[in-house]
Amino acid sequence: MRFLPGVFRRRLEGRTQYQKILGNISWLSADRLIRMGVGLIVGVWVARYLGREFFGMLNFAAAFVALFSPLAALGLESIVIRDCVARPERRYQTLGTAFWLKLLGGIVAGTVAAAIVLATRPGEPVIQIMVVIAATGVLFQSTDVIDYWFQSQVAAKFVVYARTIAFLVIAGVRVVLILLEAPVVAFAWASCAELAIAAAGMAFFYHREGGEFGAWRGSLERARGLLRDSWPLFFSVVFVAVYMKIDQVMLGYMLDDAAVGLYSAAIRLVEMWYFLPAAIVASVLPALIRAREEDESFYLRRLQTLYDIMGGLALLFALAMSLLSTPIISILYGHKFEGAGPILAVYAWAAVPTFIGMASAQHFVVENRTRVTLYRTFAGAVASVLVNYLLIPLFGPLGAAFAFLVAQTVMVFSIVLIPGTGRQAGMLLAALNPMRAVGLLKEKKRS
């Protein structure tokens, strides 16, 4: 509070819930800003060192395993957060059950990913080894239940501590690997180690803040309850993984690893900004849940405000990034990645449906209408596969960028075709009007 300008500080005095939300957003943003700054420097250095082909191999392995990681996530995040907020008395049973579900899912995901890459890319031992390493890292996602607990308490700073420490340590390791001229497999191990260190860090802070691992209890009945609520979200996560990662996988199979490297270099400059909408949404979710229980009209006003903020931020970001795409690529990556500028310019506009989509996903969780999320993510996944299949042979990595933009747009706005979602569709479409954000600022100024 003491770092805010006086006008904002006065508005927030005595409003403890808003102060907690702002503080949570600040911690999540600080984590991502550190990652963005250090990660940009180290990531560009890694890309320059590895070159298109080996950088593409590294990203192909990560994207390939990401297609199967929903088996470890199981769509539990929002459900666990919701239950920890609404039913805190059974939090240990919820956390314990979710942990075992995610661990078993991680074992299945890693095994399936390794088996498929061995069958589909024979004679490529480096790719096979990196996929196995990346699949090992999926096992550490079981500790994400600690993150869910801290999110439910609007206490993201402890997760930030753990993940930032892990990130900085491994960033240093990556620099050492470059200086030692290490092989590409070593960088895959570094990514796996980062997940392990972050998991250990979250466990440490959870225990230090009074969490009791010994009180965690797995329950078949609770597992059935969690999976009953989360199964639409699970399939939604599957479809999200498809339309988020299938482009890199299809580039690797239909073209080559160098094409994956060129594409990955461009899209990382967009995806690293996704922390901002994610931080905002994660911080306001508990407040939205409480608002809906207390006052429906107040809840809808706050939800529309969230949509408007997301839409305004996304439009500004996309416009700036697309105009500056070519010089950004030239300055950061040099001539080795020449041709990534147009990819970045197209991919940046996918931020518009992405930002709004992050908010609308929580909308349907709060209202327990997770099947709508399932339907629209299925539409996005189908669109992604079809458009990538058509455009990659014609335009290469640029075609994949167009395919992602189409898939995201279809995913978010397909709700206009789903019965019973007219109000939500109207709110989404309204958020595309940049003048609403201007009007919101004027209204806040007058009040």
pLDDT of 176-187, one tens digit each?
999 999 999 999
CB of 142 closer than 8 Å to CB of 96: no
Give me the numbers of helices (H) and strands (E) for the chain, helices first please.
20, 0
Is 339 strand, coil or helix?
Answer: coil
What does the DSSP assignment read for 255-316?
S-HHHHHHHHHHHHHHHTTTHHHHHHHHHHHHHHHHHHHH-HHHHHHHHHHHHHHHHHHHHH
What's at 73, amino acid-wise? A
Which segment of 228-237, 244-253, 420-429 scores lowest on mean pLDDT? 420-429
Compute the chain's Rg from CA coordinates.
22
271 or 290, which is more confident?
A: 271
Q: What is the mean pLDDT of the chain?
A: 83
Is 157 strand, coil or helix?
Answer: helix
Reading the block at residue 220, the tokens are: 């078949």
pTM for the complete prediction?
Answer: 0.77
Reading the block at residue 5, the tokens are: 């300008």
pLDDT at position 420: 72
pLDDT of 361-386, one tens digit each?
777 766 667 677 778 888 989 999 99
